[in-house]
Amino acid sequence: MSTDPGNGLGSYLRDRRTRLDPAALGFPAGRRRTPGLRREEVAQRANISPTWYTWREQGRGGAPSADVLDRIAAGLMLTDPEREHLFMLGLGRPPEVRYKVINSVSPRLQRVLDTLTVSPAIIKTATWDVVAWNRAAAALLTDYAQLPAAQRNILRLMFADSRVRAAQEDWLSVARFVVGAFRADVARAGATTEITNLVDELSRTSPEFDRLWRDNNIVACGEGLKRIHHPELGLLELEFSAFAIDGRPELGMVVYNPATSEGADLIRRYIERQREIGSGASETERRPLEG
């Protein structure tokens, strides 16, 4: 009995295999009745039974397992969005998240950040490594370009840098929020294994982190108000909003908007002055103010 109403999964499988080039995958090109791979060739690449695969294209048999769908996705060389669609058709749910290590962003994403002239904005990974930022973020929060890549982690800055601690209006409340939001992001992205070393390091070096981590609190990092003490501008109030990046579950963007028009004018003048003096910013200005 079919568990695939309308045989959407079977149609999708047939369509995907007809798009593959047999010769490029090591199969005899020869003369074929239809373009693409034969069913038994897909089954061979996926290491599954040819009969079972044929049944799936025909809408027969029970629901496939996630492991089998993963093997079929690999055999058909599906992209991540195509693999997700395969799971939705076969199991009615997306696949478990597979975390990817990211070290940079596309020029297009960087240009999005750069259009925000008075609003600090960053792009962070699910493990809270900052991989992109704009001029406003460098001027008001942290000039990440002055830090080694391994140190551009929000948790590491929050718990290991005294200047970050001093910049917070209420460090303990901010730290508690950061740990809870970090834990939620990591779980959502399936990156639990990837943070083991970072968590172990911070647990050894920071009693506060160790205590907060053991609390197992989870918070949503959607939006809120952040107050930081800038060495030149004094207390700044910034409204922050977090955004998902479509098709990039391992990345998230955080934008900090000045809470008042007066604050925006103050920040604009400061950034313009920094631009005028070029690289003449002092060492204090270049040190982290915020994770």
Residues 85 and 129 in one domain: no
DSSP secondary-structure letter at 133?
E
- DSSP letters spanning 30-85: S--SSSS--HHHHHHHHTS-HHHHHHHHTT-SSPPPHHHHHHHHHHTT--HHHHHH
Whether residue 92 contacts residue 98, with contact meaning beta carbons closer than 8 Å, is answered with no
Q: From the CB of residue 26, how many other CB atoms can be counted at a distance below 10 Å?
A: 8
Task: Decide which of 91, 117, 140 is a domain's last residue.
Answer: 91
Whichever domain contains 61, its CATH number is: 1.10.260.40
Answer whether residue 183 is part of any domain.
Answer: yes
Residues 192 and 253 in one domain: yes
DSSP secondary-structure letter at 93?
S
Total structural domains within the chain: 2
Most confident of 2-16, 65-79, 99-113: 65-79
Answer whether residue 141 is part of any domain.
Answer: yes
Residues 128 and 83 in one domain: no
pLDDT for residue 250: 78
| Angle of helix 8-17 versus helix 39-46 axis, rounded to 10 | 90
Answer whether residue 20 is part of any domain.
Answer: yes
Question: Does residue 287 surpass a pLDDT of 70?
Answer: no
- Token duo for residue 170: 């209420």
pLDDT tens profile 243-252: 988 777 778 9
Whichever domain contains 119, its CATH number is: 3.30.450.180
Task: Decide which of 47, 62, 91 is a domain's last residue.
Answer: 91
**Range(s) of the domain holding residue 230:** 107-286
Residues 156 and 272 in one domain: yes
DSSP secondary-structure letter at 96?
P
Answer whether residue 223 is part of any domain.
Answer: yes
pLDDT for residue 230: 92
Residues 67 and 113 in one domain: no
pLDDT tens profile 167-214: 999 999 999 999 999 998 888 777 778 888 899 999 999 999 999 999
Q: Please tell me the distance from the alpha carbon of residue 258 to that of residue 242, in angstroms, as a whole number.
A: 15
Answer whether residue 169 is part of any domain.
Answer: yes
Residues 157 and 202 in one domain: yes
pLDDT tens profile 154-166: 999 999 988 889 9
CA-based Rg of the chain, rounded to a whole angstrom?
A: 25
Q: Please tell me the distance from the alpha carbon of residue 163 to that of residue 280, in angstroms, as a whole number.
A: 20
Q: pLDDT confidence of 3, banded at 50, 70, 90? A: very low
Q: Which of 99, 96, 140, 101 lies closest to 118 in space, CA to CA?
A: 140
Residues 162 and 129 in one domain: yes
**5 Cβ contact list (under 8 Å, min separation 6):** none
pLDDT for residue 5: 43
Residues 127 and 80 in one domain: no
Residues 233 and 145 in one domain: yes
- DSSP letters spanning 208-233: HHHHHHHTT-----SEEEEEEEETTT
Answer whether residue 118 is part of any domain.
Answer: yes
Q: What share of the chain is helix, strand, coil (3-state, %, to 5)?
A: 50, 15, 35
Q: pLDDT confidence of 79, banded at 50, 70, 90? A: confident
Against a cut of 0.75, is the pTM above it?
no
Q: Which of 137, 98, 79, 144 lies closest to 250 in space, CA to CA?
A: 98
Q: Which of 286, 272, 255, 239 lies closest to 133 in space, CA to CA?
A: 255
pLDDT tens profile 220-240: 778 899 999 999 999 999 999
Answer whether residue 98 is part of any domain.
Answer: no
Task: Decide which of 91, 121, 142 is a domain's last residue.
Answer: 91
Answer whether residue 126 is part of any domain.
Answer: yes
